Amino acid sequence: MPNFLVTFLVLTLLVAALHEQVVSSCRSFCNSIPINYPFGIEDGCGSPQFRHMLNCSSTDLFFQTPSGNYKVQSIDYQKKNMVIFDPAMSTCSILQPHHDFVMSDIQSAIIPPSDDTIFVLMNCSVDSPVLNHYKSLCFNFAGHSCDELYGACTSFKLFHLLSNSSPPCCFTGYNTVNFMSMNILDCTHYTSVYNTDNLKGVGPLDWLYGMRLSYSVPDTGCERCTKSGGTCGFDVETEGMLCICSASINATRECAAGTVSSGVTNKQWRISFILTCLLLVSTTGYQFLHNFKKNVL
């Protein structure tokens, strides 16, 4: 087969493949946890503001932050909150080396820990800023005390044994650990508890350890897309909204009556355009040489 024909066939197949390439269907579950807007597992699914925040393994769903991966225990789409757990955090049953909980700026803005999530800073130095200049950052947590915490939990009793007393602790909010690291706070360990409004009179053994994050849903017209049978997503380059209708069709707003586009990204269109030009050049060149040989030679 002549080289021009081989080139022609290869370029034809590449152009056809690019025109058929679309955003793949978005997963609706990660194991037993439903994945709905504004979240998504695959890039291009959900809202671009929540891009790359979730990671699904074969066993668990994780919320990703600059400080690590946190196991997602549940997502309540009606109340717009997510409960996560830090596997490296100290709890009533295990004492872990201290580390910082760090969120990106956009995460702190659109999916921060809820008001009913508190951070407990434990075994703090008497020189800790939250016990001196910033002591107003510590507050009363439903009448609970450091003595109660250190006395009830097996893992925290170690602080009693080492100091023969109850070292200072601080019940505080997310803003404290957001702006000051554990080294600056001068506390050796921390834990976090959620649903604190309902923990009055409940001992530390029965607290709900973890963090509840509250999020807001961007108003991008997603409801219109889902009502038409589509899944809300976005262009991975422009981050403009897409209504993912099937494995082969995307729309700008809705599936049934919306203006349908192929869902191919700008970069893919540019590559497709270049390949199409090469295809035309190849075809024209082949025809020119064929006619030249026929008429001249």
pLDDT-derived band at 293 (thresholds 50, 70, 90) equals low
Structure tokens at 260: 């349908």
Alpha helices in the chain (DSSP H): 3-20, 105-110, 146-152, 157-163, 174-179, 182-185, 222-227, 266-295
Q: What is the pLDDT of residues 134-169, one digit of tens each?
A: 999 999 999 999 999 999 999 998 887 777 778 999
The string over 23-50, giving b where at least 16 C-beta atoms fall within 10 Å of a residue's C-beta and e elsewhere, is beebeeebeebebbbbbbbbebbbbbbb
Reply yes or no on whether the pLDDT at 280 is more than 60: no
Q: What is the pLDDT of residues 169-225, one digit of tens each?
A: 999 999 999 999 999 999 999 999 999 999 999 999 999 999 999 999 877 788 888
The model's pTM: 0.76
pLDDT-derived band at 99 (thresholds 50, 70, 90) equals confident
Structure tokens at 240: 């403009």
Q: Give the integer Cα–Cα distance in Å for 246 and 255.
A: 9
